[in-house]
Structure 1
Amino acid sequence: MSHLGLVAVVVRDYDEAIAFYVESLGFELVEDTRISEEKRWVVVAPPGARESAVLLARAAGREQEARIGDQTGGRVGWFLNTEAFDRDYQRMRAAGVVFEEAPRHEPYGTVAVFRDLYGNRWDLIQLRRAGTAHDPGDHT
């Protein structure tokens, strides 16, 4: 059986990214291993996540630096599922997370778009039912 293990988010600085993901989003720091003087293997994940996590990959060079904050061309690129939307929405707002909109109710669940510290767009989403077919990322 296969599963998605990691997705990379290009960041400007490891420590500022760790602070945002851990303190503002409530993720756990899973690993922070120094590979070289400039490179670290930094993995964060929502509490209790078993399969998928986020690799915080510091930009190397101008081309990668140009992608910070716009890895998906302005589309929502990441979907943070929750079982307690109101609790997590309020906690994240109190921690300074910037939401683009008030929560809205869609056929697939409750959702609100937020931006990470670099401007990448995410959905905070509570699905109505597991396995619902949908395209929640069609926000422009």
Structure 2
Amino acid sequence: MTNDTISDMLTRIRNGNLVGHKVVKIHSTRINYQLIKLLKTEGLIRQYETVVKNGQHFIFVYLKYSTNSKQPIIRGLKRVSKPGLRVYVSTNQIPTILGGQGLAILSTSKGIMTNLQAKTLRVGGELLFYIW
């Protein structure tokens, strides 16, 4: 297991989308669970379930594809804040991704949320990654 579980999760989702997998297996941590739950509420993944195998906890993420062209719903992921270089933004610095087509995911004092929710609540925080 890696030190940066968020990057590991994003890489597994990105690689699963590129190859066309229906399900990817991610190591379960509290932050990964919250991020997957947020992606589900935003409609970027189809479903998720937590599983315990041999004493280890995993999250099975069911990826979502468009019905007519079999293109993945998640077109791109970019990690912003890393363990070696944390990136924090205030309320007025929260970015808009692809003119509102994408999302920035932040870790704030009020929990993990999207850039739109953070602007509405007027809170800043650590900018985790972009997704479009």
- TM (normalized to structure 2)? 0.34
Q: Which has the higher helix share?
A: 2
- TM (normalized to structure 1)? 0.33
